């Protein structure tokens, strides 16, 4: 199977449980969810005119809509070519769960990597049993997609973006309706704005949740 890849890079995970962990990020192309605050809108559309070959992909240094097809074996070869040392792989997007990621996770895990997928939960999550699932449930977004009940149950952690009190109220309702009181819950201030950060801190303390502050943005790293 081939996967449409927008970019691959090595950095530190800046969010959730694995904050600070050296990671290889594999960003897949395409997402129809339509989050207004999305910081990777260049991954939303798939145009055949934007497909590039590996030599061009290797030279890609800036965000763009360009993408390249890779098999799992080709991805592993690329990690080796680039000399990546991290053993944790973050599969992100875009919306990565538009793909069946089971075989990809197995291929990575067979080579000693741990896998994490970051998803909106609006498509069926198909990953290996050991894959860490970071669910950032997106409700009432422009695309009109609904978060699947199965996504809530598969989540290893819930990472919820907040900017105003209604977002906190929505999350409380989600947790209650889906019996998620036992899940790890992180609040993430949208766009790192001071008011959103203050609200997130207050809400974390009141609800015994945790704070995710997008460490990579504060450090100005990829």
Q: Please state, rounded to an integer, the average pLDDT across all residues of the chain.
A: 94
Within-domain flag for 221: no
| Domain that includes residue 130, residue range | 3-161
Within-domain flag for 182: no
What predicted TM-score, i.e. pTM, was given to this entire model?
0.94
Kindly list the strands in the beta sheet with 184-189, ordered across the sheet, starting from the edge strand earlier in the chain. Answer: 68-70, 3-12, 22-28, 88-92, 114-119, 132-135, 157-162, 184-189, 210-211
56: pLDDT strictly greater than 80: yes
Any idea what the CATH number is for the domain that residue 151 is in? Answer: 3.20.20.70
Within-domain flag for 101: yes
Within-domain flag for 184: no
Within-domain flag for 213: no
Annotated binding-site members for [4Fe-4S] cluster = 31, 35, 38
Within-domain flag for 192: no
Residue with tokens 């997609």: 145
Q: Residue 144: what pLDDT?
A: 81
C-alpha 2: how far from chain center: 19
Better-predicted residue by pLDDT, 147 or 214 = 147
Q: Residue 217: what pLDDT?
A: 77
Terminus-to-terminus CA distance in the chain, angstroms?
28
Within-domain flag for 63: yes
Mean pLDDT over 104-131 rounds to 97
8 Å CB contact between 142 and 124: no
Burial of 97 by CB count in 10 Å (0-12 exposed, 13-18 middle, 19+ buried)?
A: buried
Within-domain flag for 188: no
Annotated binding-site members = 12-14, 27, 31, 35, 37-40, 92, 94, 136-138
Task: Name the domain count of the chain.
Answer: 1
| Span 77-95, pLDDT tens digits | 999 999 999 999 999 999 9
């Amino acid at each position: 199977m081939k996967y449409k890849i927008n970019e691959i890079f090595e950095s530190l995970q800046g969010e959730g449980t694995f904050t600070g962990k050296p990671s290889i990020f594999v960003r897949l192309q395409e997402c129809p969810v339509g989050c207004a605050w999305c910081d990777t809108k260049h991954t939303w559309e798939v145009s055949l005119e934007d497909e590039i070959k590996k030599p061009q992909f290797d030279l890609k240094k800036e965000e763009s809509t360009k993408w390249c097809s890779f098999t799992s074996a080709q991805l592993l070869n690329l990690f080796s070519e680039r000399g990546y040392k991290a053993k944790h792989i973050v599969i992100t997007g875009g919306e990565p769960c538009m793909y069946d990621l089971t075989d990809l996770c197995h291929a990575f895990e067979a080579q000693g990597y741990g896998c994490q997928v970051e998803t909106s939960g609006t498509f069926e999550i198909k990953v290996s049993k050991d894959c860490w699932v970071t669910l950032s449930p997106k409700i009432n977004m422009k695309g009109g997609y609904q978060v699947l009940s199965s996504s809530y149950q598969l989540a290893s952690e819930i990472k919820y973006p907040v900017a105003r009190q209604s977002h906190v109220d929505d999350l409380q309702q989600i947790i209650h309706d889906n019996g998620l009181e036992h899940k790890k819950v992180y609040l993430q201030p949208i766009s790192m704005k001071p008011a959103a950060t203050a609200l997130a801190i207050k809400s974390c303390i009141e609800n015994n949740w945790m704070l995710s502050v997008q460490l990579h943005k504060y450090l100005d790293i990829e």
